[in-house]
Amino acid sequence: MPPALAADLSLEPMAEKSAGAFRTISEVADELDVPQHVLRFWETRFGQIRPVKRAGGRRYYRPQDVELVAGIRQLLYVQRYTIAGAQRVLKENGIRFVQAVGRGEAKAAEPLIQEVEGATALRADTPDRAALMGVLEDLHACRTLLDALRRPYDRDV
């Protein structure tokens, strides 16, 4: 390879995109740590996610699209909402609220038991309600421990 071409192929990292730049689906997937097929699936479940589609169907996400997807990810993955629960939060609070959730500026209320577990609500007349509530508390404690293990360790430098 001629030296002039080798110089052009330096291994320096590419410059970061500006905050207002459009992002491809692969860039959004990498940034949010979500597979591309999940982003495509969310587009079918959340009509508010509307990336620009160019020739050949290539998706380009605007900054506000990325914030919305980040908010939906926060609701589903961190706060443990179901799809229906996240749709309800989006409908009741609006796109801007969910975008703020994605930026870490807002937090949605804790999901209802039936939204978290996907089961019917525990009625007061259920004979084993107290036992089930105890088990649910144990599961929440386990989830808290697991969430703590997933976070990177804070290191003093």
Q: Assess whether pLDDT exceeds 50 at residue 12.
A: no
Q: At residue 86, does pLDDT exceed 50?
A: yes
Taking the complete model, does pTM exceed 0.75, yes or no?
no
Position 154 pLDDT exceeds 60: no
Nearby residues of 129 by Cβ (< 8 Å), 6 or more positions away: 122, 123
Among candidate residues 118, 112, 70, 68, the one with its CA nearest the CA of residue 90: 68
Mean model confidence pLDDT for the chain = 79
For 23, list phi and psi in degrees, rounded to 5: -120, 145
Please state, for a pLDDT cut of 90, what percent of the chain lies above it. 43
